[in-house]
């Protein structure tokens, strides 16, 4: 398995993710992991339309993603995208090795505190990120591949 980018972005696949990140990291497949989206045919269609031509993609539940990632070929350069750090912690706890996590878009909601221009966290989010840190996985804030990387843990 060759995971080249793991990103948290509430918008999942969109222009910036689909093009700038896939070019910068030579991504060959996109994996959206979200239990709710995995069962929504409309979301499948919309997300599929955002995937660049010639790139593979899958929209999976957490359980299906674990099976897929364990069986995945090393030839693919995989971009994982999720809406929440909770999904990534679940993957990690199920044995999936993530080299690093990019936090790009966790937007304002009541009770969330601004950490950066595009990242807002509540106490639960912070707690989950600290558990991820306990697994030795670095987390960065970076909206696009050309932005300066900011260590998320220095902000929480």
Q: What is the mean pLDDT of residues 69-87?
A: 90
Structural domain of 43: 3-154
Q: What is the mean pLDDT of residues 52-68?
A: 94
Q: What is the mean pLDDT of residues 40-55?
A: 92
SS3 117: coil
Domain count, the chain: 1
pLDDT of 28 > 60? The answer is yes
> Which residue spans within 10-116 are E strands per DSSP?
29-33, 56-60, 78-82, 101-105, 113-116
* CA angle in degrees (0–180, nearest 5) for 99-131-8: 55
Please give the mean pLDDT across all residues of the chain.
Answer: 93
Give the residue, 49 or 16, on which the prediction is more confident. 49
Q: Which residues are catalytic?
A: 14
pLDDT of 78 > 60? The answer is yes
pLDDT given for residue 16 in this prediction:
72
Which CATH number characterizes residue 135's domain?
3.40.35.10
């Amino acid at each position: 398995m060759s995971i080249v980018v793991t990103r948290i972005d509430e918008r999942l696949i969109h222009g910036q993710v689909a093009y700038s990140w896939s070019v910068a990291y030579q991504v060959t497949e996109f994996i959206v992991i979200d239990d709710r989206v995995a069962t929504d045919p409309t979301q499948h269609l919309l997300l599929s339309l955002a995937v660049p031509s010639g790139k593979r993609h899958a929209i999976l539940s957490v359980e299906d993603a674990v099976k897929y990632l364990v069986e995945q070929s090393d030839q693919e350069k995989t971009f994982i995208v999720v809406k929440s750090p909770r999904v990534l912690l679940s993957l990690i706890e199920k044995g999936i090795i993530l080299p690093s996590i990019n936090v790009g878009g966790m937007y304002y909601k009541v009770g969330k505190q601004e950490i950066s221009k595009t990242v807002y966290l509540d106490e639960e989010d912070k707690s989950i990120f600290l558990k991820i840190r306990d697994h030795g996985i670095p987390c960065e804030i970076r909206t696009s591949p050309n932005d300066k990387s900011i260590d998320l843990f220095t902000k929480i």
